[in-house]
Structure formats: C-alpha cells, structure tokens
Structure 1
C-alpha cells in the first residue's frame, strides 16, 4: 500500500507517495497533472521495486513556489527541485521514469546528478520539445475532451481517458499552461553528450506531439541510448493501458539492470 509523505524542498512542501521495497524507481508525471497518473500502473509492478511518486511543485498535493501566479518556471527549475528531493531521500542508483515533461525532467536530471541515477527511461519526451504554437498554449483548456482523445492512442479505453481529464481538470490551469510553455522552451541537445547513463527513449506510435525524428535527434546526441515505438499507445501510456505499459517497463529493467 502506498504511503503519502511530505518533504520540505527549498521551502516548498513536496508531496510524494512510496510503495514497495527494493530498487528505487522514481516516476515523474506529465504536464498539468500529478502523481495519480501513475497510480494504476504501479499496481502492476513487482514488489522488488520501490516506487517513489512525487507531485511537482504546484501540482496535486504539492505547494507552489513563491509568486507562482506571476512567475512561470522552467524544466530546469523542476529538475533542480527533484534533484534536491532525491538528495533529501538519500537515493542512489535510482531509476527515473518520466513521461512528457516528466521525460524532459528525467533527461535534465541525468546532466545534473548522473552519479545518483542508474538509468533514465523517457516516454513521450526528447532533448528538444518545441512542439506547440505559443498562442495555442495560452488558450489551453485542461478539461478539453477532444484534446485528451486526440493525444491518446487507438487502444486507450474511454474510462482511461476520463481518468486523464479528471486528473488534469483538478489541477491549476495556469500551472498547466506554464508547464506547456516550459516544455516548449526545453532544449538541451547540446548537453546530452555529457550523459554517461543508459537512456531509453520511447514514444507511442499514435502520439501526435512527439515524433520519431525527435527521438532519433535526441538518441544521436547520447552516448548510451536506444529508442523504441510503442504500438497502439499515444502520449499517456501509463494511463492508456497501465498493465501493458508496466510489463514493457519491467521487461526493459530486467534486461538493463543487473
């Protein structure tokens, strides 16, 4: 059973949940959502993994940064916060699995504290994610049903998409917009060659946001990487089919983690 806790990171109360014991697996959520997006997938992971699922600042049960109504933050800010969070828990050899902006954060973290990271799995993210028109971002509606359906893969169930809409709608709209702007401005292609960790890049074949080119572009900059396409998945694999995605992740970990 997951245990919820708070940790003071740079004066911000960060909420996180821990489940299981064993190899630490840190799960980073998507833009404008919170750790609940991982909840069903975690149930399908073996007991020998300890999942740690934080809510990013201003998301879910975590408090926002000072002046959040006027001050937008970057992927770098989130990565610095999670870096301090990892250090506060004294985690070593941690596996990081991030999706969407969580994948961008995972990549950024490997450039910051690679010595603490065993490997990074980046789903639906890349080294450069300038994918939206800024004016469209500013008009974003977290409860947009059509957008949710468009971003999910053909095999996603209606109930899973409803879960996504509910989680996103229950978070702050301005935080969501800020996340999308941070995503759009993210570009660390010139820093990726410094990463010595194994990095797995993946995208759902139905993802309209992250292209195969973006993964290839990122992979070429990394020393130790591979990329894969997930048939039937879109931009939110852990919600669309949590059981199948969990099996994919476990299969990767069994091959890569000795």
Structure 2
C-alpha cells in the first residue's frame, strides 16, 4: 500500500442545460468556494482547466465563489446538435449571449468576470452591453481590436494542428514562467477540436471591434480592469494601454514577468496583481 497521502480538492464539476439564441447547449462547469461570484472565461481553443489554480486557491475561495465553464466545442462541453452542418466561426453576438445565458441559467447575481485573451476582450463588450449585469470585469490580454490571429493554416491536412497551434500559442508566454505551467498550457491547446482555435480567433481578430464605442462604457456602474503581460506579443501592453485610454475610468496596465496566459502560466505571480483588484471591487 502506498504511503503517499491522498488529497481531494474541493472542486465540483457539473453540467447545465440552457438555450442561447435558440440553440440548446449542455455546458460543463466547475466551481469552488463561497461568497461574491467570480466567473472565469478561458482563451481561444482551450478550456476551463486554465483556471485550475484559481479553483485551488484556498485564500481566495474563503471570500469568493469561483465558477469556470467550457464553451461549447471546448473541453467537456460538446458542440450542439447539428454542429457538422456549418463552419464554426464564433461571433461577438453568439459569444456574448452564451456568457450572459450561462450566468442566467445558474442565477449568478452580478458576478465578477475574469476573461483572458479573446475573453479578455469579450468582457469589455459585456460591460458595454449591460453594465448592470456585472459587479466588475477584469480583462487579461484584452484590447479593443486585435489583428492577425485569424489564420487558415491550422486547417491544412499536411499540418498537425494539435502540435502547431499549441506551439504557436506557447510563444506568447514568458520564458520566466515555470516550465511545468507552460507545458500545461501547451498540453491543453494540443487537445482542441479541428478548426476550433481558428473559429475562436474569428471573433478575436475579425468580428470584434470596440474602437468606435469604447468611450460609452459606464465604468461607474461596472468597473473595468485591463491587464497584459509584458511578454505578450499577440495583445501587447500597448494595445491594452490604448483600450484603457479609450474607456473613461478603466484601470490596469502592464504585468511584469508574465505573458499571455497569466492565470495558467504563473498563477502565484498573477495572484499578486489579482488580489488587490478583488479587494478593491469587494470594498
């Protein structure tokens, strides 16, 4: 018999069924903790495992309930019925509605949103659409417009997308982040469905553009925090600085020593940036 101790984490995973824009979905989510709700939104082509460190942060969970879900087509959330009849291209309207309808399905009362990469941009749009729905939004690697991420090469039959997409995104991380964590980000990306990363970046780089409307966001009702790692070359700190400048009352800026996936690639360092923001929001 092994003498190694057994530890069961206090994370509960379940499924919720709901309808969004007339489409029925069965969505997997995990949660832990109690208190004001934080909803974690994963990056393009990945899933909620990117937030596993937050779900295991006992200090944070003493004061917050953390809920993380896999978008349909991602992780444990299967595509909806008939998914094979059309190309997967995520749009701003579909993405926004999915997040809103998921939160309604779980009756989450004015949660705090934390989104990274494409979700870091989406949370800005969600604050614009209805600031009263959210206690605050925190965008990681989010901007008003991100160019150049929507590419067709991952669909080519002579390219192993599971390796190439994972390696392409791996370059966005800080070389100073722990290797174990960087390898974990790579592994999650290697498991995405065919064309799903490309379909997500359609939203991120093609459909989404807040440059003309960012000035209308009411940060007095819904505070907006935007943070980007210094090693991120997809959404640069300059991109995020431009968003902060365009949104009256938005706050945030550069995170030293981190890249594009702060909550996954170096959670202990990211927690140093996150904790004071959460304290300010709750206060």
Pick one of 117, 122, 132 that aligns with 2:134.
117
Q: Are the counterparts in 1 of residues 150 and 202 from structure 2 also a CA contact under 8 Å?
A: no
**How many residues are aligned here?**
258
Query: Is 1:201 the counterpart of 2:222 in the alignment?
Result: no
State the Cα deviation string for residues 218-246 of structure 1 (Å, max 9, x = none): 12321220121111111111111112212
Larger Rg: 2
Give 2:6's aligned residue: none
SS across alignment from 2:83 = coil
Report the aligned-residue RMSD. Answer: 1.9
Describe how 1:17-96 pairs up with structure 2 within 5 A: 17-44=30-57, 45-69=60-84, 70-71=86-87, 72-96=89-113
Identify unmatched segments of 5+ residues in structure 1.
Answer: none
Answer whether contact 2:35 2:65 (CA < 8 A) is retained. Answer: yes
Picking from 242, 265, 268, the partner of 1:217 is 242
Residue in 2 that maps onto 1:143: 163
Distance across 2 between alignment mates of 1:42 and 1:3: 10
Distance 1:37 1:81, change over 3 A: same
Q: Which runs of 5+ in 2 are unaligned?
A: 1-9
Tell me the CA shift for residue 151 of structure 1: 1.0
Q: Would you say 1:175 and 2:196 are equivalent positions?
A: yes
TM superposition score normalised by structure 1: 0.92
Q: In the superposition, relative to structure 1, how do residues 142 and 227 fare at CA in structure 2: closer, same or farther (>3 Å)?
A: farther
Deviates more, 1:98-107 or 1:31-40: 98-107
Farther off after superposition, 222-231 or 129-138? 129-138
1:161 counterpart residue number? 182
CA contact (8 A) 2:111 2:134 kept: yes
- 2:274 is the alignment partner of 1:249: yes
